[in-house]
């Protein structure tokens, strides 16, 4: 009688650990709901009530939440729920694209630095150190303030988006580059890399086919924590009036409008603010759960 | 030790100049200039203005003129006649600094306390309570928290004034708003660091020789447990500095961050360049101080 021992792969293991992290799973569910709400909400609303995010109704003005406007309306009589959904689309889009930019730059940079090693490595890491000690957000503020967004356009997207993707993506790759470099440094000593060398695989293939996929765990974990921080930076810039511009909206601009009118029309602050805080809360919890599942060594408890 | 501090200090200078150069290039490359107003200016006046601010000279000459003007504080602001960049920084930076330090003090005090409570009472209601609070603190952006605090504590309960900057009572809400997220991070870091340390041998020894829990924590565990917090202080200072920009806008605080955004929008080249250079220098000195503090807390680490 032979018993087959079924091994569990790293990913199965992680999946099992993650499912045990109830709060993280709950956050994933809530996030999915929020994403669906933002993605399909505007069409539904326009089907049911006929509002769009830029449709004004000056005669109505700012009205409190009601059955036909569940989140109320803003000063120009625009339906706040559609605007919150639309703002969510923009905020989520910026967060995902900027994080992807930082992912590509950070992983490539860190992998090359760690793999090549020696002088090149210390020079590349010194550069990261220098960038880390600069007040980059001030530079982003300058950049966003001096470039008129109308001059840039990208696949029909408003220029302020493209600037946002680039600016936020290019400042958030630094930590990722360090993490990946550290991983690569230890991975390149492993036997499977030696084996690949021995059978004559090209260095570039070794790096990107064999080493980089093995850094995926920490990369996923860190990226899941980058998304909320990028989202926060976007909202920060939009709040200052330097990000997404009218009639487009993001959660940052909505909160800004809301905080200006909060005394008289508190719902203008409450709904976008709550939605955004809930999203950030879930993203952070999700990231925590992913870290516990994928990177058990980083867990401090 | 003194040698490496000096070496680091000298290393800061070229970095700051480089950063100023990048900023200046960015300002110059962007379309539009400081004197493109809605109202067109007669060409002679425009020429005079350009001459006054060296705008008609080659790029590097201009940059040099600005830089030397910054160094002795005589560089005039382009959009606020009669004011030099030096004066503006001198009057508004202390405000931002006070705000930043108060926020940091608040963050450290509440964060370290919450973190220690969480670690010592691990997996109890105290732990879960403080850590949930910390996650909320991280997730609520300060520009949401600020208005909400104003709504509750200033307009609702009337405990604090809603805005402006006149005396201690006006500083409470801005400092808490700015510090909340950092308090939350620090609480998490402290908890993690303390949990690691209280299991180590030297803490067990301290317990074994009969020290009270309080003494063990205060005298032995805290020194090692706070290391992650010290590492966090460098980047935190950077983010608090940029964070004041938003807080100053919400609470109408006349600090440097407020003027900075205004100047960037106005294309006040001299002001923008001045503030970026100034902040960069401060930040790098801060980072150095953090590194020095680190070598004291963990003797194994050497200053490079």
CA A69/CA B276 separation, integer angstroms:
45
Q: Do the Cβ atoms of A284 and B148 come within 8 Å? A: no
Please report, in tens digits, the pLDDT of each residue of chain A (301 residues total): 566 776 666 677 778 777 777 778 888 888 888 888 888 877 777 777 766 766 666 666 666 676 666 676 776 767 777 788 888 888 888 888 888 888 888 888 988 888 888 888 888 888 887 777 677 777 777 777 776 655 555 555 566 677 777 777 777 888 888 888 888 888 888 888 888 888 888 888 888 887 777 777 778 778 877 888 888 888 888 777 777 777 777 887 888 777 777 777 777 778 888 888 888 888 888 877 777 777 655 544 3
Q: Do the Cβ atoms of A151 and B31 come within 8 Å? A: yes
- Return the DSSP state at A206: I
Asked, for residue B230, whether it belongs to a domain, the answer is: yes
Peptide bond into A247 cis (omega under 30): yes
Residue B53's pLDDT is 67
Cβ within 8 Å of residue A88, ≥6 positions away: A34, A37, A38, A251, A275, A279
Closest chain B C-alpha to A187 CA, distance in angstroms: 25
Residue A299's pLDDT is 47
Strand-pairing partners, residue A79, are A73
B140 lies in the same domain as B28: no
Sign of CA dihedral A238, A242, A246, A248: negative
Q: What phi and psi values does residue B303 have, to the nearest 5 degrees? A: -75, 125
What does the radius of gyration of chain A's CA atoms come to, in whole angstroms? 23
pLDDT in tens, B189-235: 888 777 777 777 787 888 788 777 777 777 777 777 777 777 777 76
Strand-pairing partners, residue A73, are A79
| Tokens encoding A109 | 């940079």
A-chain residues within 8 Å CB-CB of B234? 133
Asked, for residue B67, whether it belongs to a domain, the answer is: yes
CA B96/CA B285 separation, integer angstroms:
17
CA A136 from chain center: how many Å? 18
Q: Do the Cβ atoms of B144 and A145 come within 8 Å? A: no
Q: Do the Cβ atoms of A258 and B272 come within 8 Å? A: no
B75 lies in the same domain as B113: no
Closest chain A C-alpha to B247 CA, distance in angstroms: 10
Cβ within 8 Å of residue B81, ≥6 positions away: none
Domain boundary among B65, B85, B105: B85
Residue B304's pLDDT is 59
Asked, for residue B36, whether it belongs to a domain, the answer is: yes
Cβ within 8 Å of residue B189, ≥6 positions away: B111, B115, B228, B229, B232
The answer to whether B99 and B247 have CB atoms below 8 angstroms apart is yes
User: Is B300 exposed, middle or buried, given 0-12, 13-18 or 19+ CB atoms closer than 10 A?
Assistant: exposed
Minimal-distance CA residue of chain A relative to B162: A263
Closest chain B C-alpha to A84 CA, distance in angstroms: 15
Which CATH number is A12-300 given? 1.10.3720.10
The answer to whether A21 and A301 have CB atoms below 8 angstroms apart is no
Q: Do the Cβ atoms of B31 and A148 come within 8 Å? A: yes
Q: What secondary structure does DSSP assign to chain B, as a single string?
A: -HHHHHHHHHHHHHHHHHHHHHHHHHHHHSSS-TT--SSPPPHHHHHHHHHHTTTTS-HHHHHHHHHHHHHTT-PBPSSSTT-BHHHHHHHHHHHHHHHHHHHHHHHHHHHHHHHHHHHHTTTSHHHHHHHHHHHHHHHS-HHHHHHHHIIIIIIIS-SS-SS---SHHHHHHHHHHHHHHHHHHHHHHHHHHHHHHTTSHHHHHHHHTT--HHHIIIIIIHHHHTHHHHHHHHHHHHHHHHHHHHHHHHTT---HHHHHHHHHHHT-HHHHHHHHHHHHHHHHHHHHHHHHHHHHH-TT----
B224 lies in the same domain as B288: yes
B142 lies in the same domain as B290: yes
Cβ within 8 Å of residue A43, ≥6 positions away: none
The answer to whether A227 and A95 have CB atoms below 8 angstroms apart is yes
CA A289/CA B53 separation, integer angstroms:
55
Asked, for residue B292, whether it belongs to a domain, the answer is: yes
| Tokens encoding A145 | 């303030």
Asked, for residue B272, whether it belongs to a domain, the answer is: no
Closest chain A C-alpha to B167 CA, distance in angstroms: 24
Asked, for residue B65, whether it belongs to a domain, the answer is: yes
The answer to whether B147 and B249 have CB atoms below 8 angstroms apart is no
Asked, for residue B259, whether it belongs to a domain, the answer is: no
B72 lies in the same domain as B171: no
Residue A252's pLDDT is 79
Q: What is the value of ipTM here, to two decimals? A: 0.70
Q: Which residue has the tokens 């830089």?
A: B67
B69 lies in the same domain as B105: no
B65 lies in the same domain as B103: no
A&B contacts, CB < 8 Å: 125
Q: Do the Cβ atoms of A139 and B26 come within 8 Å? A: yes
Domain boundary among B85, B118, B152: B85
Q: Do the Cβ atoms of A280 and B144 come within 8 Å? A: no
Closest chain A C-alpha to B28 CA, distance in angstroms: 9
Of B135, B139, B195, the CB nearest to A301: B195
B115 lies in the same domain as B15: no
The number of folded domains in chain B is 2
Of B19, B144, B246, the CB nearest to A277: B144
Average pLDDT, chain B: 78
For helices B168-197 and B227-250, the axis angle rounded to 10 degrees is 160
B292 lies in the same domain as B203: yes
User: What residue spans of chain A are helical by DSSP H?
Assistant: 10-20, 22-48, 80-116, 118-132, 136-146, 159-171, 174-187, 191-198, 203-205, 216-239, 251-261, 267-294
Minimal-distance CA residue of chain A relative to B145: A273
Structural domain of B13:
2-85
Interface of A with B (CB under 8 A): 130, 132-135, 137-139, 141-143, 145-148, 151, 228, 232, 235-236, 239-242, 252, 255-256, 258-259, 262-263, 266, 269, 273, 276-277, 280-281, 284-285, 300-301
B-chain residues within 8 Å CB-CB of A269? 144, 147-148, 151
The answer to whether B60 and B68 have CB atoms below 8 angstroms apart is no
Residues of chain B scoring pLDDT < 70: 30-41, 51-56, 79-80, 163, 235, 301-304
Asked, for residue B153, whether it belongs to a domain, the answer is: yes
The answer to whether A291 and A299 have CB atoms below 8 angstroms apart is yes
Closest chain A C-alpha to B259 CA, distance in angstroms: 12
Cβ within 8 Å of residue A21, ≥6 positions away: A288, A289, A292, A293
Minimal-distance CA residue of chain B relative to A300: B192
CB burial string B181-203: b at 16+ within 10 A, e below: bbbbbbbbbbbbbbbbbbeeeeb
B66 lies in the same domain as B174: no
Of B151, B245, B276, the CB nearest to A142: B276
B-chain residues within 8 Å CB-CB of A258? 147
Closest chain B C-alpha to A235 CA, distance in angstroms: 9
CA A103/CA A169 separation, integer angstroms:
8
Domain boundary among B85, B105, B124: B85
B80 lies in the same domain as B224: no
| Tokens encoding B279 | 């902040």
Residue B123's pLDDT is 72
What ranges do the domains of chain A cover?
12-300
- Return the DSSP state at A147: S
CATH of the domain at B141: 1.10.3720.10
Strand-pairing partners, residue B84, are B76
Mutate to test the interface with B, among A23, A31, A138 (most CBs of B within 10 A): A138
CA B257/CA B253 separation, integer angstroms:
9
């Amino acid at each position: 009688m032979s018993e087959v021992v079924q091994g569990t792969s790293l990913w199965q293991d992680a999946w099992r650990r993650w499912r045990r992290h109830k709060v993280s799973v709950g956050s994933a569910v809530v996030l999915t709901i929020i994403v669906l709400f933002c993605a399909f909400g505007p069409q539904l609303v326009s089907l049911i009530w006929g509002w769009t995010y830029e449709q004004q109704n000056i005669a109505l003005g700012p009205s409190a939440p009601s059955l036909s406007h569940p989140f109320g309306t803003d000063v120009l009589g625009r339906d706040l729920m559609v605007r919150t959904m639309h703002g969510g689309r923009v905020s989520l889009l910026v967060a995902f694209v900027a994080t992807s930019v930082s992912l590509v730059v950070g992983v490539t940079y860190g992998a090359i630095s760690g793999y090549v090693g020696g002088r090149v490595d210390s020079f590349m890491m010194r550069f990261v150190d220098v960038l880390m000690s600069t007040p980059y957000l001030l530079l982003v503020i300058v950049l966003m303030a001096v470039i008129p967004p109308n001059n840039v356009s990208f696949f029909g997207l408003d220029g302020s988006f493209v600037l946002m993707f680039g600016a936020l993506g290019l400042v958030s790759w630094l930590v990722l580059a360090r993490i990946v470099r550290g991983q690569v440094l230890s991975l390149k000593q492993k036997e499977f890399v030696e084996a690949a060398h021995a059978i004559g695989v090209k260095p570039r293939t070794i790096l990107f086919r064999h080493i980089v996929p093995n850094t995926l765990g920490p990369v996923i974990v860190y990226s899941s924590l980058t998304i909320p921080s990028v989202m926060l930076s976007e909202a920060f810039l939009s709040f200052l009036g330097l990000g997404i511009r009218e009639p487009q909206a993001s959660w940052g601009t909505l909160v800004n409008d809301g905080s200006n009118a909060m005394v008289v029309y508190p719902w203008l602050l409450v709904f976008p603010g709550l939605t955004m805080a809930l999203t950030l809360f879930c993203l952070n919890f999700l990231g925590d759960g992913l870290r516990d599942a994928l990177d058990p060594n980083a867990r401090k408890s | 030790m003194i040698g490496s501090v000096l070496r680091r200090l000298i290393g800061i200078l070229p970095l700051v100049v480089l950063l100023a150069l990048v900023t200046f290039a960015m300002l110059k490359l962007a379309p539009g200039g400081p004197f493109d107003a809605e109202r067109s200016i007669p060409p002679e006046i425009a020429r005079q203005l350009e001459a006054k601010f060296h705008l008609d000279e080659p790029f590097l000459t201009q940059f040099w003129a600005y830089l030397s003007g910054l160094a002795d504080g005589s560089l005039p602001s382009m959009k606020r006649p009669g004011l030099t960049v030096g004066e503006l920084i001198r009057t508004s930076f202390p405000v931002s600094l006070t705000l930043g330090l108060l926020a940091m003090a608040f963050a450290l005090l509440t964060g370290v306390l919450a973190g220690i409570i969480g670690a010592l009472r691990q997996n109890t209601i105290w732990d879960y309570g403080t850590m949930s609070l910390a996650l909320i603190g991280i997730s609520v952006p300060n520009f949401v928290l600020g208005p909400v605090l104003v709504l509750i504590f200033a307009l609702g309960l009337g405990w604090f004034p809603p805005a402006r900057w006149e005396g201690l009572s006006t500083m409470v809400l801005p400092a808490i708003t700015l510090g909340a997220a950092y308090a939350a991070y620090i609480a998490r870091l402290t908890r993690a660091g303390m949990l690691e340390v209280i299991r180590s041998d030297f803490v067990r020894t301290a317990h074994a020789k009969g020290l009270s829990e309080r003494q063990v924590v205060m005298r032995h565990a805290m020194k090692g447990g706070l290391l992650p917090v010290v590492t966090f202080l460098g980047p935190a200072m950077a983010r608090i500095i940029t964070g004041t920009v938003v807080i100053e806008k919400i609470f109408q605080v006349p600090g440097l961050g407020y003027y900075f955004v205004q100047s960037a929008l106005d294309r006040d080249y001299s002001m923008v360049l001045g503030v970026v250079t100034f902040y960069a220098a401060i930040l790098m000195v801060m980072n150095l101080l953090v590194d020095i503090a680190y070598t004291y807390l963990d003797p194994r680490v050497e200053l490079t």
